[in-house]
């Protein structure tokens, strides 16, 4: 049986990661695979998935794509990876189906787009991007968002195709518990994916996507599609993507709270620590955040046992990951 090391586990030491995050100059990409990463699971798929996502984002930047294109490309890799709670592999609602939320934001123009409670999209981040680019709106939800995605040519898939055997088995356990002890007794496990990117000219962007908390009530929406809570980006501040308990993150508008600290002079690394501290102190919340500043400095922090994450900068052959 796999025994996960309880200590910090990563491609680099803590000090080496800190040095990498504190370097200035883009292009660079940071991704997270959620602050609910299990301590009892083999971390290998989380390392591999987050590395692949960060590398996909950097390829876009090096090919001349925007920071928003890069964050989106990284998010798609994680939505398609069944180990993460977003897109394929998302957590199930108490009804036993999947409801997805996603958002993105461009720091140069403050354009933002989000979808909530969509059930038939393989990559909800693509629908969020279409809301961002093609409509005067910021947030669309439910059947209206799905109809808009269809009009935009985004492929639909059956809800059942998003459900993995692992999530079905978890749902079964939680369902049995809910039947014995009541639905509100079920501890809402966490999971989200996100990406932040900065290009070589100081433009930043963020993208975030989730299936939400496990065994959530149908129609429940957390922080992920809410601009300022789950996602934020402003070239005059920073870009941030949150993960953790949405009900708490919403109360402190965590992504914007972190970006404002960078605007006011904090490094992205210390802004991330402060934002997660705010989450804990003011909302008793568990979670984490990743940040990219316009000067290329990066940050991450979390107050859960593990948050899978990876970082890559121009000039590196491969992303460096940790859980
Ligand atoms: N952070 C994701 C959620 O609470 O839905």
CATH number at residue 190: 3.60.20.30
Residue with tokens 């909302």: 283
Tell whether the model's pLDDT for residue 6 goes beyond 70: no
Mapped onto helix, strand or coil, the DSSP state of residue 14 is helix
Average pLDDT over residues 43-68: 97
Is any atom of ligand 1 closer than 6 Å to the C-beta of 88? no
* Mean residue pLDDT across the chain: 95
Q: Which of 60-64, 171-175, 250-254 has the lowest average pLDDT?
A: 171-175
38: containing domain: 5-322
**Dihedral sign, Cα of residue 228, residue 229, residue 235, residue 237:** positive
Q: Which residue from 31, 34, 46 is spatially nearest to 245, judged by alpha carbons?
A: 34
Is the C-beta atom of 245 inside 6 A of ligand 1?
yes
Higher pLDDT, 179 or 316: 316
CA of 72 to the centre of ligand 1 (A): 18
Sorting pLDDT into bands at 50, 70 and 90, what band is 297?
very high
224 lines ligand 1 (CB under 6 A): yes
CB 223 within 8 A of CB 254: yes
What atom in ligand 1 is closest to the CA of residue 287?
Answer: 1
Please compute the mean of the pLDDT values over residues 163-172 and round it to a whole number. 94
Average pLDDT of the residues in 240-253:
98
pLDDT for 177 beyond 80: yes
**CA 29 – CA 308 distance, rounded (Å):** 14
Number of folded domains that form the chain? 1
Token code pair at residue 140: 């669309």
| Partners of 30 in beta bridges | 196, 311
Taking the C-alpha atoms of residue 261 and residue 253, their distance in angstroms, rounded to an integer, is: 13
Residue 36: per-residue pLDDT: 85
Q: Which of these, 278, 252, 238, lies nearest to 71 by C-alpha position?
A: 238
Average pLDDT over every residue of 99-116? 98
pLDDT tier, 42 (very low <50, low <70, confident <90, very high otherwise): confident
Q: Ligand 1 centre from 189 Cα, in Å?
A: 9
Distances (CA, A) of 78 to 88, 214, 310: 9, 18, 12
Where do we find the tokens 């393989």?
Answer: 122
In this prediction, residues 15-23 reach a mean pLDDT of: 97
- Residue 210 Cβ inside 6 Å of ligand 1? The answer reads yes
Note the pLDDT tens digit of each residue in 125-154.
999 999 999 999 999 999 999 999 999 999
Kindly state the percentage of the chain with pLDDT values over 90. 89
**DSSP label at 2?**
-
Task: Give the pLDDT confidence of 183-232 residue by residue, as tens digits.
Answer: 777 766 778 999 999 999 999 999 999 999 999 999 999 999 999 999 99
SS3 132: helix
Return d(Cα 193, Cα 313) in angstroms, integer. Answer: 19
Ligand 1 proximity of 222 Cβ (cutoff 6 Å)? yes
Beta strands of the chain (E only): which ranges?
28-32, 100-106, 112-118, 139-141, 193-198, 204-210, 231-233, 239-244, 287-292, 298-302, 309-313, 320-322
Annotated catalytic residue 210 = no
Counting from 1 in the atom list of ligand 1, the atom nearest the Cα of 212 is: 5
């Amino acid at each position: 049986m796999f025994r996960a090391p309880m200590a910090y586990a990563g491609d680099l030491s803590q000090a080496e990661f800190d040095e990498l995050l504190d370097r200035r100059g883009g292009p660079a990409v940071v991704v997270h695979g959620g602050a609910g990463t299990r301590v009892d699971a083999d971390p290998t798929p989380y390392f591999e998935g987050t590395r692949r996502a960060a590398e996909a984002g950097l390829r876009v930047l090096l090919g001349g794509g925007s920071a928003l294109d890069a964050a989106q490309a990284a998010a798609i890799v994680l939505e398609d990876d069944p180990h993460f709670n977003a897109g394929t592999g998302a957590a199930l609602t108490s009804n036993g189906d999947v409801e997805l939320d996603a958002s993105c934001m461009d720091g140069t123009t403050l354009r933002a787009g989000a979808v909530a409670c969509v059930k038939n999209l393989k990559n909800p981040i693509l629908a969020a991007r279409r809301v961002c680019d093609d409509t005067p709106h910021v947030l669309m939800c439910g059947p209206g968002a799905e109809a808009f995605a269809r009009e935009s040519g985004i492929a639909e898939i059956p809800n059942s195709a998003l459900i993995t055997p692992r999530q079905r088995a978890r749902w079964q356990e939680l369902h049995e518990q809910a039947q014995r002890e009541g639905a509100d007794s079920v501890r809402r496990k966490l999971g989200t994916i996100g990406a932040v990117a900065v290009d070589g000219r100081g433009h930043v962007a963020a993208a975030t996507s989730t299936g939400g908390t496990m065994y959530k009530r149908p129609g429940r929406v957390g922080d992920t599609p809410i601009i300022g809570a789950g996602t934020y980006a402003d070239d005059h501040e920073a870009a941030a993507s949150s993960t953790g308990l949405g009900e708490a993150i919403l109360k402190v508008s965590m992504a914007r709270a972190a970006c404002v600290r960078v605007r006011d002079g904090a490094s992205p690394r210390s802004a991330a620590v402060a934002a997660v501290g705010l989450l804990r102190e003011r909302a008793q919340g568990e979670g984490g955040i990743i940040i990219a500043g316009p000067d290329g400095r990066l940050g991450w922090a979390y107050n859960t046992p593990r948050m899978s994450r990876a970082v890559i900068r121009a000039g590196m052959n491969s992303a460096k990951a940790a859980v």
